[in-house]
């Protein structure tokens, strides 16, 4: 099972799959990430919520490697990955989806996922055999598309609906066979029915791998999350179960009062 891959790696039992310690990032006078400490345990679905401008995107950028923190550490499977490149982190089992979809628009959905499968199948310095009919890439790619429930395999991304692209984002991330999946607002821009379908898809994934879910859709967050961390002005002000977060007065002040008003 992929989930326990890092435990078998000889580093001993780790309590947290991902631990973030004292992470800081400033943009000029703005502390976008202000001393954030956070643990994602093996197998849990951990949600990260916070009002707009709380620094969620900056934080996920530092976890994936697109943004270098000013201070602090990101430890994955017991290994300090703070200075590793984006691609190196993916190789270690840390994959992500994008809030604003990042796909190959000229290619079909299937070709997109096939390329993501290829990226996991060793190096791509293979110059002669055609990749477009390689069953070793296409079959896993089809399986992933079916897993996320995207039916139009052979449609170009440019012709897919927004909801379908969000599903494709998820399939691309899963193709990396991650131990930890960072999902950056997978429900953003989805209709009510699509949101529900995505919630069910995520529920089916739960347990098989760890997920750090950044999401504005509170209904989905409270339905899915084992634990929730609340980020406000770059600081993690609370972490706990759904009930604990709902009951936390600081959280209510900062955030939930407006969101969960009856």
Partner 1 sequence: MRNALPPLAVLLAAAIALPWAAEALGQPATIGLATRILCLGIAAASLNLILGHGGMVSFGHALYYGLGAYTVGILWEHFRLGEPIFGVIPGSNELLVTLPIAMVVAGVAAAVIGALSLRTSGVQFIMITLAFAQMGFFLFVGLKAYGGDDGMLVRRRNIVPGLDLRDQNQLYWLCLGFLVAWLLLQWRIVESRFGRVLEGIRQNERRMAAIGIATYRYKLVAFIIAGMGCGLAGALTANYLRFVSPDLMAWQKSGEIMVMVILGGVGTLLGPVVGAAALVGMEYVLGGITENWQFFLGPILLAVVLWAPGGIMGLLGRGARRG
Point out which residues bind partner 1 (CB under 8 A).
Answer: 64, 66, 85-88, 90-91, 95-96, 98, 102-107, 111, 114-116, 118-120, 124-132, 134, 172-173, 175-176
Query: Closer to partner 1 at the Cβ: 66 or 226?
Result: 66
Contact in structure between 65 and 52 (CB atoms under 8 Å): no
Query: Closer to partner 1 at the Cβ: 50 or 61?
Result: 61
Query: Closer to partner 1 at the Cβ: 160 or 236?
Result: 160
What is the nearest approach in angstroms of partner 1 to the Cβ of residue 27?
20
- CA quadruple 142, 105, 95, 194: dihedral positive or negative? negative
Query: Closer to partner 1 at the Cβ: 104 or 196?
Result: 104
Query: Closer to partner 1 at the Cβ: 66 or 79?
Result: 66
What is the nearest approach in angstroms of partner 1 to the Cβ of residue 90?
3
Question: Hey, what are 247's tokens?
Answer: 């009951």
What is the nearest approach in angstroms of partner 1 to the Cβ of residue 217?
23
Residue by residue, DSSP assigns 150-183 as ---TTSBGGGS-HHHHHHHHHHHHHHT--SEEEE
Say how far apart CA 138 and CA 148 lie, in whole Å. 16
What is the nearest approach in angstroms of partner 1 to the Cβ of residue 67?
13
Question: Hey, what are 65's tokens?
Answer: 């490697």
Q: What angle do CA 190, 193, 196 make, to 5 degrees?
A: 85
Say how far apart CA 143 and CA 17 lie, in whole Å. 27
With a CB cutoff of 8 Å and minimum separation 6, the contacts of 85 are 65
What is the nearest approach in angstroms of partner 1 to the Cβ of residue 80?
19
- CA quadruple 100, 33, 16, 226: dihedral positive or negative? negative
Query: Closer to partner 1 at the Cβ: 28 or 122?
Result: 122
What is the nearest approach in angstroms of partner 1 to the Cβ of residue 122?
9
């Amino acid at each position: 099972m992929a989930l326990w891959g890092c435990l078998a790696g000889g580093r001993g039992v780790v309590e947290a799959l991902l631990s973030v310690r004292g992470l800081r990032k400033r943009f000029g006078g703005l502390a976008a990430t202000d001393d954030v400490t956070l643990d994602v345990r093996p197998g849990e679905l951990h949600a990260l919520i916070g009002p707009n401008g709380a620094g969620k995107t900056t934080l996920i950028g530092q976890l994936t490697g697109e943004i270098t923190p000013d201070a602090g550490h990101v430890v994955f499977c017991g290994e300090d990955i703070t200075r590793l490149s984006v691609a190196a982190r993916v190789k270690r089992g840390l994959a992500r989806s994008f809030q604003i979809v990042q796909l190959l628009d000229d290619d079909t959905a299937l070709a997109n996922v096939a390329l993501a499968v290829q990226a996991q199948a060793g190096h791509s310095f293979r110059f002669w055999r055609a990749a477009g009919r390689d069953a070793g890439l296409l079959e896993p790619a089809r399986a992933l598309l079916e897993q996320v429930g995207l039916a139009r395999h052979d449609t170009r991304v440019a012709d897919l609906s927004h909801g379908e692209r969000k599903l494709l984002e998820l399939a691309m991330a899963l193709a990396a066979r991650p131990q930890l999946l960072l999902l950056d607002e997978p429900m953003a821009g989805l209709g009510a029915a699509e949101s529900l379908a995505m919630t069910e898809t995520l529920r089916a994934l739960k347990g098989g791998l760890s997920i750090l879910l950044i999401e504005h859709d509170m209904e989905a967050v409270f339905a899915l999350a084992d634990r929730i961390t609340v980020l406000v002005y770059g600081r993690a002000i609370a972490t706990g179960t759904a009930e604990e977060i709902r009951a936390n007065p600081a959280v209510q002040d900062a955030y939930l009062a407006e969101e969960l008003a009856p």
